[in-house]
Amino acid sequence: MFLTEPEVYELLSAYSIAVPRHKVFWKDEIPSWDIFPAVLKVVSREVFHKSDSGGVIFIEKKENFVDAIFTLRSRFPEVDRFIVEEKLHGIEAFVGVKRDFSFLHVVGIGTGGIFVEVFGDVCFIPLKSEREEVRACLRKLKLYSLIKGFRGFKGNESLLLDFLEKLKVLLLENPQIYELDLNPTFITESYVIPADGRAVLKEPEERKEFRSLPENLFRPETIAVIGASSNPKKVGYALIRNLERFRGKVFPVNPKYNEVLGFKCYPSVKDIPEKVDCALIAIPAPAVPDVLKECGEKGVKLAVVVSAGFGEAGREELEQEVVRTARKFGIRVLGPNTLGFMVPSLNLNASFSTTLPPPGEISFLSQSGALITAVVDAAAKEDIGFSEVISLGNQSDIEVAECFELAVRNSDTKVILSYVEGLELGWELLNFVGKKPAVFIKAGRSEGGKRAVASHTGSLAGNYKVFKDAVECRGGIVVDSLEEAFDCCRFLTAYGRLEDKKLLIVTNAGGPGTLAADYATSFGLELVSVDPVLEELSRVLPPNWSRINPVDLIGDATSDRYRAAFEILEKLNWDVCLVIVTPQSMTDVPEIAHEVVKLSERSKRAVVGCFMGGSSVAKGVEILKREKIPVYPDPYRAVNSIRRGVWSVQSSSEERREKA
């Protein structure tokens, strides 16, 4: 179904959204109309690109009105209705709504005309957003500079927010809207009015239901391994071996064995004499539904289907059967095609990953099992610990959004890190993003990277862009790479998200200090002024110290000088202090590290280290890591992590790096 311009105007009016004064009339009619300049357009479900096909005529003066009608009649003999409306002016904005399968309605907004296509100045706001979140999204746009006033342009932010709120109500009450284009929409200081309208209606698709996960789902007391094996080449062997250190009970299940790796083995899950909380299933795919039925009868709460050969291999039906069976018995299914899950603090490695990472405060949810393998392997080296690691596999039942919600409830978790390829429950995910610091890596941006050529919302919104904008709008952090993700997690586990953005840089190296200041400025962080303590600092620092922030203590600074500076600089009103250290011959790195620790303890504010070099700084790095002070090898990574952790900057800076 398709709504024409007058129909869209009617819909908008019903929600108190202003539309241009207009009149619809039949082809053989000459209406009375006195507002000029005016715009005359065809009304038709068939004519798609009205402007491009000559279906729009601008009329300067009343004397040209009748002529224009005749022209349009002759151009479109088959069209039987026309609309005349006042010609609006102001900032030409692009407003388009798209109903995304995962995130439901998102409102695309940006600078209109060729801006939206050539410059891609558009962001997608999910309906879940609060007014303040919407404001933060708008601030990312170039459109925002026009609204704030620029070279004859000026809009009204508050009216625009009102307009978007009304649009939100309209969309919530009209789920059948699939696309809604209001292009252009004109913004001035006194109004926000769409000057065209077109909508596509389509009944909402049936979506997966969000089903909250039980608190202790990933903390089972007893685990059965169905398909356990004594053959070291089999996954069923690795699963048992990895559970050897688990403090709960482990029950191998395989009719071929009496025992596996010292554990008594049972012919079937039903033969296990105790309750079974969780079953790891590693048997050929076709046998899984029957085994699940047995699990159901046994009262298993969580089935981890490690077996592959389901949807990912084209066998969607088998996967559906698994889900149906599980639902029938109230079992939640992780996978199929999952690596499993791990809870390091419980020594619980319910996966076929060889190593269990150190315990920590990050929930890592990943749709890629191999990524988990790599991360877990790097964890020790990188000093990264996890409260839980969950491999989502095919997400036939348990989805990233559900695990995310559970992680929000998990008191061991400070930061949630998700690697996402696709998800169905985006709308629901947005309820929880922002409740805890959350970092996302989203694969599949190439799709979105393709510059869309058509101007309607649908094609403009790649999945990646919708995901990124929606999640960021709610306060999530979407990063580009795994390394960046862990850099951010380091900061967030230490300090959470900060509200304020005043940065102090203390360095013994001019160059790296300048680079750090460059990054900070281009990211929108604010360099706090050291003027209030200038005299005091000058008394303890060498005469050639920088006298500005970055505070350059000069290359020969030792821990004494760092300490003296810290003690004075503590009085300033900074939110984050970045301490840069390069190893000159007199640099006593470990002692400086201790001063950084003390600063962190005394100031109770965020302190971040950037220790540059190799073996000469290694001990200092260790000291900071031990004290959970984030430390980075490069000023870029340090400042970027700070920036990602500061909410007010994250939401207002438009680019990872400004072009300068």
Restricting to residues 395-434, name those near a copy of itself by CB under 8 A.
Answer: 419, 421
Whose Cβ is closer to a copy of itself: residue 84's or residue 509's? Answer: 509
Count of residues near a copy of itself by CB under 8 A: 92
CB of 211 to a copy of itself, least distance (A): 25
CA 226 to each of CA 235, 275, 278, 332: distance values in angstroms, whole numbers, following the listed order: 11, 15, 10, 16
Q: 3-state SS string over 275-319? A: CCCEEEECCCHHHHHHHHHHHHHHCCCEEEECCCCCHHHCCHHHH
CB of 656 to a copy of itself, least distance (A): 6
CB of 278 to a copy of itself, least distance (A): 21
Q: What's the CA gap between 579 and 520, in Å, rounded?
A: 14
Site stretch for a copy of itself (CB under 8 A), options 208-216, 398-406, 561-569, 610-618: 610-618
Restricting to residues 565-594, name those near a copy of itself by CB under 8 A.
Answer: 582-585
> In terms of DSSP bridges, do strands 340-343 and 386-391 run parallel, antiparallel, or are they unpaired?
antiparallel
Restricting to residues 636-655, name those near a copy of itself by CB under 8 A.
Answer: 636-637, 655
CB of 370 to a copy of itself, least distance (A): 3
Q: What's the CA gap between 278 and 645, in Å, rounded?
A: 36
Question: Which has the closest alpha carbon to 363: 383, 344, 336?
Answer: 344
Question: Which has the closest alpha carbon to 178: 211, 201, 158, 212?
Answer: 201
- Identified binder of a copy of itself from the candidate list 174, 613, 625, 628, rule CB under 8 A: 613
Whose Cβ is closer to a copy of itself: residue 84's or residue 141's? Answer: 141
- Identified binder of a copy of itself from the candidate list 254, 307, 373, 559, rule CB under 8 A: 373
Q: Is 289 exposed, middle or buried (0-12, 13-18, 19+ CB in 10 A)?
A: middle
Restricting to residues 212-271, name those near a copy of itself by CB under 8 A.
Answer: 238
Q: What's the CA gap between 269 and 266, in Å, rounded?
A: 7
Whose Cβ is closer to a copy of itself: residue 161's or residue 313's? Answer: 313
Q: What's the CA gap between 93 and 160, in Å, rounded?
A: 11
Whose Cβ is closer to a copy of itself: residue 127's or residue 146's? Answer: 146
Q: Could you say whether residue 308 binds a copy of itself (CB under 8 A)?
A: yes
Q: Could you say whether residue 378 binds a copy of itself (CB under 8 A)?
A: yes
Q: Which stretches of 149-232 are DSSP H helices?
A: 157-173
Whose Cβ is closer to a copy of itself: residue 145's or residue 231's? Answer: 145
Rounded to whole angstroms, the maximal C-alpha distance in the chain is 98
CB of 148 to a copy of itself, least distance (A): 11
User: How many CB atoms within 10 Å of residue 576?
Assistant: 27
- Identified binder of a copy of itself from the candidate list 34, 481, 535, 604, rule CB under 8 A: 481
CB of 648 to a copy of itself, least distance (A): 18
* Local structure of 116: helix, strand or coil: helix
Whose Cβ is closer to a copy of itself: residue 9's or residue 186's? Answer: 186
Q: Could you say whether residue 382 binds a copy of itself (CB under 8 A)?
A: yes
- Identified binder of a copy of itself from the candidate list 482, 534, 540, 572, rule CB under 8 A: 482
Q: Could you say whether residue 312 binds a copy of itself (CB under 8 A)?
A: yes
Q: Residue 287 is encoded by which pair of tokens? A: 């046998």
User: How many CB atoms within 10 Å of residue 441?
Assistant: 20
- Identified binder of a copy of itself from the candidate list 53, 231, 258, 354, rule CB under 8 A: 354
CB of 444 to a copy of itself, least distance (A): 7
Q: What is the DSSP letter of 323?
A: H
Restricting to residues 619-638, name those near a copy of itself by CB under 8 A.
Answer: 633-637
Whose Cβ is closer to a copy of itself: residue 273's or residue 543's? Answer: 543
Q: Could you say whether residue 58 binds a copy of itself (CB under 8 A)?
A: no
Restricting to residues 103-162, name those near a copy of itself by CB under 8 A.
Answer: 111, 114-115, 117-121, 142, 145-146, 150-151, 153
Measure the CA dihedral 56/57/60/66, to 10°: -130
Q: Could you say whether residue 61 binds a copy of itself (CB under 8 A)?
A: no
> In terms of DSSP bridges, do strands 56-59 and 38-43 run parallel, antiparallel, or are they unpaired?
antiparallel
- Identified binder of a copy of itself from the candidate list 37, 359, 496, 555, rule CB under 8 A: 555
Whose Cβ is closer to a copy of itself: residue 134's or residue 515's? Answer: 515
CB of 616 to a copy of itself, least distance (A): 5
CB of 585 to a copy of itself, least distance (A): 5
CB of 294 to a copy of itself, least distance (A): 27
- Identified binder of a copy of itself from the candidate list 327, 445, 625, 628, rule CB under 8 A: 445
Say if CB 525 and CB 643 are below 8 A apart.
Answer: yes
Question: Which has the closest alpha carbon to 520: 637, 639, 644, 655?
Answer: 639
User: How many CB atoms within 10 Å of residue 643?
Assistant: 23
Say if CB 127 and CB 107 are below 8 A apart.
Answer: yes
Question: Quick one: which H or E segment has residue 194?
Answer: strand 192-194
CB of 283 to a copy of itself, least distance (A): 17
Q: Is the sign of the CA dihedral 70, 72, 77, 79 positive or negative?
A: negative
Q: Residue 630 is encoded by which pair of tokens? A: 């984030």
Q: What's the CA gap between 650 and 477, in Å, rounded?
A: 8
Q: Residue 11 is encoded by which pair of tokens? A: 């819909």
Site stretch for a copy of itself (CB under 8 A), options 187-195, 291-299, 425-433, 478-486: 478-486
Q: What's the CA gap between 61 and 87, in Å, rounded?
A: 11
Q: What's the CA gap between 153 and 117, in Å, rounded?
A: 20
- Identified binder of a copy of itself from the candidate list 149, 299, 449, 532, rule CB under 8 A: 449
Whose Cβ is closer to a copy of itself: residue 81's or residue 445's? Answer: 445
Report CA 173 to chain centroid distance, whole Å.
26
Question: Quick one: which H or E segment has residue 504?
Answer: strand 502-507
CB of 179 to a copy of itself, least distance (A): 20
CB of 612 to a copy of itself, least distance (A): 4
Q: Could you say whether residue 361 binds a copy of itself (CB under 8 A)?
A: no
Restricting to residues 76-95, name those near a copy of itself by CB under 8 A.
Answer: none
Restricting to residues 524-543, name those near a copy of itself by CB under 8 A.
Answer: 543
Whose Cβ is closer to a copy of itself: residue 157's or residue 567's? Answer: 157
CB of 160 to a copy of itself, least distance (A): 17
- Identified binder of a copy of itself from the candidate list 56, 443, 533, 572, rule CB under 8 A: 443
Question: Which has the closest alpha carbon to 69: 23, 20, 6, 27?
Answer: 27
Question: Which has the closest alpha carbon to 125: 135, 116, 117, 113?
Answer: 135
CB of 22 to a copy of itself, least distance (A): 26
Question: Which has the closest alpha carbon to 506: 480, 540, 476?
Answer: 540
- Identified binder of a copy of itself from the candidate list 34, 499, 544, 604, rule CB under 8 A: 544
Whose Cβ is closer to a copy of itself: residue 47's or residue 441's? Answer: 441
Strands (E), 562-626: 576-581, 606-611
CB of 116 to a copy of itself, least distance (A): 11
Backbone torsions φ then ψ of 209, nearest 5 degrees: -95, 140
